């Protein structure tokens, strides 16, 4: 166990094998790393862009042979430089870290938005072997920001399933927000688990819906993470450290942080900022 933890925490240099453009602001970077190949869906890695910074990223592809992908939106200096990287360039990798999703069976609902779909992809690929039905709801502001449509369709084709896409401008699928569709489904159907990842206000709304309909819930949270091992405190929400206790938190854990969840997080200087 100690040897494995040492390997997880050690910075490994990997070569970018493929860069895929997912949307005007999102790219997927594929590399090979045997340790990340052992990750559970929902765990994250720390990606070091040489000469710039280290950032936490979700793993959007996990395979036993170590071929791993991370899907990243361009939102700041580090991600801007990362988006300039090409096939053959190198990155530093630490991890995987944190607690991933707990697999459930039965009738399952998935709710994703934006790059929050990234950790839901390897989760879905595992769940299709366990579920009796899977309802996948995904949302974005516009058609161009909907990610992984083909991959989701292909994965769901092997199981009793339904995919519902929403866009706020109506450019694809149903016009509106994804939580409205989730509420309609929950009012008509009993689910054994809801998994969610995306903008925190969306996940907070899903948490409230799950509580109203007495449905178990798991959400993957995003916070500033510097160390990824529970020391720096930058990712704290209530008494929980997102890097260690999460990033996937359950209904029971989220009830303990209702004063913060969906309302604010800590900025780079430790001050509270609205989510």
Condensed to tens digits (0 to 9), the pLDDT of residues 49-80 reads: 998 999 999 999 999 999 999 999 999 899 99
Percent above pLDDT 70 for the chain: 98
Domain coordinates in residue numbering, the chain: 2-97, 106-274
Supply the pTM of this predicted model. Answer: 0.94
Which pLDDT band holds residue 2 (cuts at 50, 70, 90)?
low
pLDDT of residue 154: 96
Judged by average pLDDT, the poorest of 42-46, 81-85, 225-229, 269-273 is 269-273
pLDDT at position 101 over 90: yes
Q: What is the mean pLDDT of residues 170-186?
A: 96
Q: How far apart are CA 71 and CA 268, in angstroms?
A: 22
Phi, psi of 257 (to 5 degrees): -125, 30
Residues sharing a CB contact under 8 Å with residue 72, sequence separation 6 or more, in sequence order: 26, 27, 28, 29, 47, 55, 57, 79, 82, 83, 115
Q: What is the mean pLDDT of residues 174-199?
A: 97
Q: Are 223 and 97 in contact (CB under 8 A)?
A: no
The third-level CATH classification (topology) of the domain covering 106-274 is Rossmann fold (3.40.50)
Helix (H) or strand (E) holding 155: helix 149-156
pLDDT of residue 4: 60
Domain 2-97 has CATH 1.10.10.1100: no
Q: Which two tokens stand for residue 54?
A: 């280290």
- Of 60, 24, 29, the closest CA to residue 146 belongs to 24
Judged by average pLDDT, the poorest of 32-41, 200-209, 226-235, 254-263 is 226-235
pLDDT at position 19 over 80: yes
Q: Indicate the SS3 state at residue 226.
A: coil
Q: How far apart are CA 97 and CA 110, in angstroms?
A: 22
């Amino acid at each position: 166990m100690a040897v494995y933890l040492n390997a997880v925490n050690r910075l490994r240099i990997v070569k970018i094998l493929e860069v895929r453009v997912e949307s005007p602001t999102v790219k997927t970077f594929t590399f090979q790393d045997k340790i990340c190949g052992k990750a559970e869906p929902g765990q994250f890695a720390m990606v070091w862009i040489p000469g710039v910074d280290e950032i936490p990223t979700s793993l959007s592809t996990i395979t036993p042979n170590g071929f791993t992908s991370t899907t990243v939106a361009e939102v700041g200096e580090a991600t801007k430089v990362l988006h300039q990287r090409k096939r053959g360039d190198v990155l530093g990798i630490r991890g995987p870290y944190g607690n991933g999703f707990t697999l459930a069976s039965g009738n399952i609902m998935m709710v994703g938005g934006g790059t929050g779909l990234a950790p839901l992809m390897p989760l879905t690929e595992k769940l299709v072997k366990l579920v009796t039905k899977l309802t996948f709801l995904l949302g974005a502001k516009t058609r161009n920001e909907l990610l992984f449509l083909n991959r989701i369709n292909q994965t769901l084709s092997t199981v009793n399933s339904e995919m519902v896409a929403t866009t706020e401008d109506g450019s694809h699928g149903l016009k509106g927000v994804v939580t409205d569709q989730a509420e309609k489904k929950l009012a008509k159907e009993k689910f054994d688990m809801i998994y969610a990842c995306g903008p925190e206000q969306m996940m907070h709304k899903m948490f409230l819906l799950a509580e109203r309909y007495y449905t178990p819930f798991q959400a993957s949270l995003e916070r500033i993470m510097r160390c990824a091992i529970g020391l720096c405190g930058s990712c704290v929400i209530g008494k929980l450290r997102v890097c260690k206790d999460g990033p996937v938190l359950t209904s029971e854990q989220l009830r303990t942080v209702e004063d913060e969840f969906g309302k604010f997080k800590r900025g780079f200087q430790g001050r509270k900022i609205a989510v």
